[in-house]
Structure 1
């Protein structure tokens, strides 16, 4: 897509991010005194953000509209400060600026779905703790029994359809499974949004985001927030139809050697009801399923 085509389609990713984040910073948060009269937007006006960043209103307007695509590093840093961005959001802004400056997109590279045998052995060794490997777009690539059963009903989908974001927004059981569904899913959407900053033309990302934008108004709403902060560890609560309510710790980590692949594992203290629940999940995976599956889908 040429620069002119991007502008006609509604600006660059850089411009859309600037616009979205400008709307979320109030004058009071930016240290400005509210003037007389009603404001048409609760966020900053373009001229206010330009002043805070030390650039001209004309230059900023061109950035937001996609007509200017080569801001200097100092301008990017000034905009990040004015928009009160944290480190992750600041880095995302840098990525968007770098992408906007390219005269031609890099040729798309199909992401690998191959999971090394040693990683599969690691998943097995983590039992009964639920664990799985996901791609950069949260495709489920490999799992141990509890890792699949944690997402109730996921196993009824064909292996190539299994995606954490697709499950959360489109599977009938997804909304009931997650406690505080919206809070849990913001991190999932933020991870996809961050990927859009570094590789916005990736076919795997475009296909998934396009599907979710079409089928899920909730995803569309979260997508427009332009959040880019994912979570790598913490605790999550589930209302699981097979083992009841449980709160588990989790840890996500990048797998070196395979770009974009992450291993995610959940855990609970031995002797607790939560640990008993994940043992039950692990055992339940050995029971016959009511939905026949191909042999290669039954384990990994």
Structure 2
């Protein structure tokens, strides 16, 4: 017997997958089974779906950021013969409405006490162990290559595992670039104009989260028209380069001045490879373990300021 394709509507958020479908008058004496598999853990959930007449609806609770394979099977009620089925692989991630709500939470936090503390900067920086920079110099022709965004921040955000990039910061410590870092003992400095040119780059809001004490904002920077830029334009929130509350590039006498909000930690994810030639390097003091976590640090899920669904 040929197995037909079941027409199922599927929508999902960071917390739930919602399935709906209908059957015709001719399809009698049938039942449905849902099989949901977490692709990371392998855990399988099987649900026998009760008879709902001709219209069927099924909400499924999920774990944010996880990928699931969902399969709906229609079988004959008497002999269990497979008649039709549908399957889809989905990731429990933010909807556009959820991302917008998170963005509004971020703006409220930034504006809560006073106006944003925008300080002028001329350089961004990236701190890594000396061995990291040596490997790029010796084996990668001085080209620092992007890599897949890890699981840092909200697990259900729309950039984890979706785009490649390199993290930079512009935050000043006592009005100077930092002399120590938990990420490594060498700081690379790069002129802002190289990665924040308002006529060449677009900025996007991607995430707002905390690790108990410190709140972070993730801003993605793309070269206009690239694959990463097209993805971010479709899925993230585009920021005005000169007026946003995080990091700004403001035209000034045919040049640009750059400002960063020093009241909150701004993570800048730049989506292009960078040639290290011409950039400056400074030895600094490594704190903590002196390197970043391979898979990222999970966000604090109990914070009511930066979570949509605090636990």
Higher helix share: 1
- Is the shorter-chain TM-score for this pair beyond 0.5, marking a shared fold? no
Q: TM-score, normalised by structure 2?
A: 0.24
Q: TM-score, normalised by structure 1?
A: 0.25
Higher strand share: 2
Q: Which has the larger radius of gyration?
A: 2
